[in-house]
Amino acid sequence: MVYFEHYNEAVQRSVMVTTAIKGKHIGHYHVNEVTGNVLVEAGRDLAVINSIPVQQFGWIRRDSSEVTSLEAEFPTYRAYVFEHLEGDLAFLSEHVLNTREIKAIREIIDRYGTWLDVEQAWLAHGDFDATHIYQEHGRYTFPIFSRAIKRLFNSRRTMSREYIFPACSSPSGH
């Protein structure tokens, strides 16, 4: 990392500038043993990201220059999920779905709504894809979660390289 600024007034968010990333993203390569090993390393970094607790639910708030912990916009997962539900269903009923299909959606929400009663939120990489994983000659070259940040995180919490994703909020618990 060359430069980091927690909150830049001009762009209204954090800014990070890195050195050139060696290699190419794995989307340029066929899946084989080499890219598989690179994916495993990237998965370990992603697991670290997914183990960071967040207060509340939704998108991370970026409206403060003083941050002591990660905080999202909504007090409950249910509030986050249902923020646009009525407007979305109204649009869909006018343009895409029939009354029976809208009723089925509401019945599913009623039947499985308790799955939204989640107590803890965890950080998630929101737009993760193959273009975020770089490799050169079979070596993972662009850690998603920088090694310096990982060392800081590890100093506060013991983690092994074999860390597996934490318990999550999916209905199946996986």
pTM, two decimal places: 0.64
Read off the pLDDT band of 43 (50, 70, 90).
confident
Q: Where are the domains of the chain?
A: 3-156
Residue 19 binned pLDDT confidence (cut-offs 50, 70, 90): confident
Q: Give a three-class secondary structure readout of the chain.
A: CCEEEEEECCCCEEEEECCCCCCEEHHHCCCCHHHHHHHHHHHHHHHHHCCCEEECEEEECCCCCCCCCCEEEECCHHHHHHCCHHHHHHHHHHHCCCHHHHHHHHHHHHHHHHHHCCCCEECCCCCCCHHHCEEECCEECCCCCCHHHHHHHHHHCCCCCCCCCCCCCCCCCC
Calculate mean pLDDT across residues 132-149: 74
Q: pLDDT by residue (tens digit) across 69-79?
A: 788 899 999 99
